[in-house]
Amino acid sequence: MTPRQCRWVFLVAGAGLVAFYLWGLTALPGFGHYPGPYGPAVLRIAVEQTKATGVVSAVNFDYRGFDTVGEEFILFTAAAGVSVVLRKLREERERSAVDEAADRDVPPTSTAVRTVALLFTGPVVVLGWWLASHAQANPSGGFQGGVVLATAFVLVYLAGEFLVFQRFSPVTLTDAVEAVGAGGFAAVGLVAVLLGLPYLKDYLPLGQMAGAVSSSGTIALISFFVGLEVAAAFILITGELLEQTLLIRRPA
């Protein structure tokens, strides 16, 4: 096919796509006019029923908790996939993370980068922990908190070197934490089944005050496990990428 013909095929197909897209747009509900019954119903009953003022978390971890288990395992599988794809191949060799030529003159990380990274590490850990443990009270949750926690480890890498990152997050420990996080979520749901309730039904005391940290029963617990899983998964993915970039070499 000549380039000219290619262009015609593209133009016809593109015009068709645009036509369907515009046709679809005309049938959309007006801006801000959600037509379904589900949203208003959840907004009316969620706080009273779950004692969580973070209604998004109430939906994610309670009303639609089963969907979230699936998403949790998507991330789990993705992290496993990255580990498999980025493994050391048979003909590749892995260098030691310790500098082989110790007397070499390596330019140190600039003081500015080190200072900023170290200044942020502590607050980022606190912020991540706060986000993951306040899903029931605020617009936050285990996913956001977990990713923020993981970035603290990237800051450690930026401030120091790969060796320090490895010491802070040994792969066996990260693997275990990830498994506990993913398994914990599923186990919280299974306990409900053992109690004779539907899977993932909230069975813990909900607390008296809506939006308190101790409120909302399993919503807070699930958010905690999701935070563990997500933090470990992102640390694992970043670590695998760094290892692949810094240590693994093709044979010369």
Partner 1 sequence: MSALAAVHTPYTVPVAMMQALQVTLLVLVAAGATAVVLIQDRVRQVLALSVYGVLLALLFLAFQAPDVTLSELTVGAVVLPAVLLITLAKVRKSEE
Which residues bind to partner 1, rule: CB under 8 A? 32-33, 35, 40, 43, 54, 56-57, 131, 139-141, 143-144, 147-148, 150-151, 154, 234, 237-238, 241-242, 244-245, 250
Q: Which is nearer to partner 1, 214 or 244 (CB)?
A: 244
| Residue 205 C-beta: closest distance to partner 1, Å | 25
| Residue 249 C-beta: closest distance to partner 1, Å | 9
| Residue 51 C-beta: closest distance to partner 1, Å | 18
Q: Which is nearer to partner 1, 143 or 185 (CB)?
A: 143
**Checking DSSP bridges between strand 93-94 and strand 248-249, what pairing results, if any?**
antiparallel
| Residue 40 C-beta: closest distance to partner 1, Å | 6
| Residue 97 C-beta: closest distance to partner 1, Å | 15
Burial (CB count within 10 angstroms: exposed 0-12, middle 13-18, buried 19+), residue 183: middle
Residue type, 113: V
Which residue in 205, 71, 220, 211 sits closest to 145, CA to CA? 220
Q: Which is nearer to partner 1, 56 or 116 (CB)?
A: 56
Q: Which is nearer to partner 1, 75 or 188 (CB)?
A: 75
Q: Which is nearer to partner 1, 147 or 191 (CB)?
A: 147
Q: Which is nearer to partner 1, 104 or 250 (CB)?
A: 250
| Residue 49 C-beta: closest distance to partner 1, Å | 17
